[in-house]
Amino acid sequence: MFKLSIVSPERTLLEDDVESLIVPGGEGYLGILSHHAPLISTLKVGEITFRDTDKKEISMATSGGFIEVSDNVASVLVDTAEFLDEIDLSRAESELHRAEELLNVTVTAADHDRAIHSRDKARNRINLVKKYK
């Protein structure tokens, strides 16, 4: 068991003891168990999954961020994250449609990168809802 903290700029999403954690690291998914070696990594768009002390698996959609693991504490700092029951599927589908439209008309590289990130976030949210519901 180890302490997990998941924080976004808007709120603290979780501060609790967990048995395991899987996060979308910048170079692939990372599995964290108690007494993990110290680690710092970027996070990309994907699924955060953790197993609580009651052995229940809980998943969240994230748009990226950072993780630090040290002294049996995992601190996850996310740009955004949502528990599955917080995801509005119709809103995510609208965001996907809007992002795909922007990809067809964007002019600058920055606009293109933002549209790709928005598309990836929306797809991730849609895929997670369909996977678990």
How many domains is the chain built from? 2
pLDDT at 106: 66
Both 16 and 49 in a single domain?
Answer: yes
Are 20 and 58 part of one and the same domain? yes
What CATH number corresponds to the domain at position 101?
1.20.5
Same domain for 75 and 35? yes
- Residue 14's pLDDT band (cuts 50, 70, 90): very high
Same domain, 70 and 10: yes
Together in a domain, 106 and 47: no
Decide: 57 and 31 in contact? Cβ < 8 Å: no
Confidence of residue 125 (pLDDT cuts 50, 70, 90): very high
Check whether residue 45 and residue 19 sit in a common domain. yes
Shared domain for 80 and 110, answered yes or no, is no
Measure the CA angle with vertex 43, ends 131 and 106; round to 5°. Answer: 85
Q: 104 pLDDT band (50/70/90 cuts)? A: confident
Q: Is the pLDDT of residue 108 over 90?
A: no
Give the CATH number, domain containing residue 32: 2.60.15.10
Residue 77 domain boundaries: 2-84
Are residues 68 and 102 located together in one domain of the fold? no
Whether 133 has a pLDDT exceeding 80, the answer reads no
The pTM (predicted TM-score) of the whole model is 0.90
Point out the domain boundary residue: 84, 99, 115.
Answer: 84
Longest CA span, the chain: 50
Token digits for 64?
């990226």
In this structure, are 10 and 72 located in the same domain? yes
User: Are both 105 and 125 inside the same structural domain?
Assistant: yes
Confidence (pLDDT) at 46: 97
Half-sphere exposure of 94 (CA within 13 A, CB side): 5
Model confidence pLDDT, tens digit, residues 35-86 = 999 999 999 999 999 999 999 999 999 999 999 999 999 999 999 999 999 9
102 or 125: which leads in pLDDT: 125
33 & 79 share domain: yes
CA dist., res. 4 & res. 36, Å (int): 12
Percent of the chain with pLDDT over 90: 88
